[in-house]
Amino acid sequence: MVFAAVILAGCGGAGSGRAVNVLCAFCTDDSQCGGNPCFEDASGGRFCGRPCDDGCPQDFSCIGIAGTGGAAVQSCFPNNQSCMQTPVVNSTDMAGAPPQQDGSVATHDAPPPCTPPAGGTVSISGGTVDRLYFGYTGDTRDSSSTSQYSSQLQSVINNIYTRMAANGVEFAIDGGDHMEASSASAAKGNLQSYANAAALLGKPVFMTMGNHECENAYNSQDCGFAGAETSDFKMAAFLAALKQVSGADTAYYRFDVQTNAGKAVFLIVADDAWNATEQSWLTTQLTDADANAKYTFVIKHHPDGNTDQPAFQQIYNLVRSHKYTLFLTGHSHEYKHQWNDNHAVVMGLGGAPFDNPNQQWWGYLTVMQCPDNTIHVAVYDQATGNVQDTWQVGPQ
């Protein structure tokens, strides 16, 4: 393994103008790290450093290390030389919000910056609205295989879609992982449980494929191989539910919604069914959206930095080379507004077992287009209806 040049040094100043909330965030270039080095660790992946001015977190040391620019600068670096294996205990993924000591999400009770839109008509094939307003959640599954959802899980996802309906969203999207199933009958039962909850919205729900929708997700072949739609019992159950709930014939698909500001393109990516055909499709769709869309929303299950399969980060990087308004993901059972990409968010709190001990709540987010064409995101706790976070971005 060839490492970036590393020179042990004291924890001296690194420049007070450098960003501090990017340590071990995935990167490909120094420019994505707010002035910090984008270094290569023992995994061969690249991650952002952090200034040493205020010391380094536990299991990190201040050293001189080179990023993609070539010059060595003082930065915090994991002692075991692996960002992927070293939790960053005193940082936060909350872009634009100050770090909290326990890493938890701040609660924001501020109202949205604009009133909800009048709406319009959105069907499973797309539609027309005055302004966008949709919901998003992901990772709705039990911790062990069941023939249908447990009463707790069913209550959570029912409540999510009931609250989305009360918010007045025009449609919803999910980020995948709808089942924990060890048999075809359990897979079908779980997905019917999900379909029952989705029906409570009374509006279209566009489903995304996750790794739990593919029995072979982490084997030598993923669900992009020929015949997976019939030979893989999870894939078969998911595709049947996808057709029922979302009207899609393939695990990856597109729908458009026309707004008063222009076209909004939605690209649902199946990263566990990735193959050359889907890659060609996604490249074509992104290129078209670059030229013809006001808004582009990309949805896939695995977030930035996940390399459970090599293609996952390649897909993320492909999307990142194009324009997009929001990149919506899940897989991690927590909420994260990404440090290194203000347009990227992880929402994996749809009912699955918690991954983050500081986020013990299930929920969803809403995305609203305001009259000035900005996009406002609000994150909700499904139990209380409290707003957990708010932020906004421009169209692309």
Distance of CA 92 to the CA centre of its chain: 16
Maximum alpha-carbon separation in the chain: 61
DSSP letter for each residue of 190-217? HHHHHHHHHGGG-S-EE----GGG-TTT
> How would you class 218 by CB atoms within 10 Å of its CB: exposed for 0-12, middle for 13-18, buried for 19 or more?
exposed
Residue-wise pLDDT for 105-155, tens only, equals 444 445 567 899 999 999 999 999 999 999 999 999 999 998 999 999 999
- Distance of alpha carbon 270 from alpha carbon 335, whole angstroms: 21
pLDDT value at residue 256: 98
Per mean pLDDT, which of 56-65, 111-120, 228-237, 370-379 is the most reliable? Answer: 370-379
Q: pLDDT confidence of 395, banded at 50, 70, 90?
A: very high
Question: Which residues have a Cβ under 8 Å from the Cβ of 70 and sit 6 or more positions away?
Answer: none
> How would you class 121 by CB atoms within 10 Å of its CB: exposed for 0-12, middle for 13-18, buried for 19 or more?
exposed
pLDDT > 90 in the chain, percent? 61
Q: At 206, phi and psi to the nearest 5?
A: -100, 115
290, containing H or E segment: helix 276-292
Asked whether the predicted pLDDT for residue 5 surpasses 50, the reply is: no
Residue tagged 């993901």 (tokens): 329
pLDDT value at residue 371: 95
Higher pLDDT, 313 or 201: 201
Higher pLDDT, 358 or 263: 263
Pairing of strands 60-66, 205-206: unpaired
Question: Which residues have a Cβ under 8 Å from the Cβ of 8 and sit 6 or more positions away?
Answer: 63, 64
Task: Give just the sign of the alpha carbon dihedral 69, 75, 81, 84.
Answer: negative
Buried b (16+ CB within 10 A) or exposed e, 319-357: bbebbbbbbbbbbbbbbbbbbbbebbbbbbbbbbeeebe
- Distance of alpha carbon 373 from alpha carbon 42, whole angstroms: 43
Give me the chain's average pLDDT, please.
Answer: 85
| Residues 219/211, Cβ–Cβ less than 8 Å | no
Higher pLDDT, 257 or 109: 257
pLDDT value at residue 99: 37
pTM above 0.85, yes or no: no
Asked whether the predicted pLDDT for residue 65 surpasses 80, the reply is: yes
Mean pLDDT to the nearest integer, 254-269? 98
Q: pLDDT confidence of 41, banded at 50, 70, 90?
A: confident
Identify the weakest region by mean pLDDT among 5-19, 123-137, 199-213, 290-304.
Answer: 5-19
pLDDT value at residue 13: 33
pLDDT value at residue 121: 95
pLDDT value at residue 231: 84
Amino acid at residue number 48: C
Residue-wise pLDDT for 173-194, tens only, equals 999 999 999 999 999 999 999 9
Asked whether the predicted pLDDT for residue 88 surpasses 50, the reply is: yes
Mean pLDDT to the nearest integer, 262-285? 94
Distance of CA 299 to the CA centre of its chain: 7
Residue-wise pLDDT for 324-353, tens only, equals 999 999 999 999 998 778 899 999 999 999
Strand order in 126-129's β-sheet? 120-123, 126-129, 253-259, 262-268, 295-299, 326-329, 344-347, 335-337
The superfamily CATH assigns to domain 120-393 is Metallo-dependent phosphatases (3.60.21.10)
Amino acid at residue number 251: A
Q: pLDDT confidence of 84, banded at 50, 70, 90?
A: low
Pairing of strands 326-329, 295-299: parallel
Q: CATH 3.60.21.10 residue ranges in the chain?
A: 120-393
Amino acid at residue number 130: D
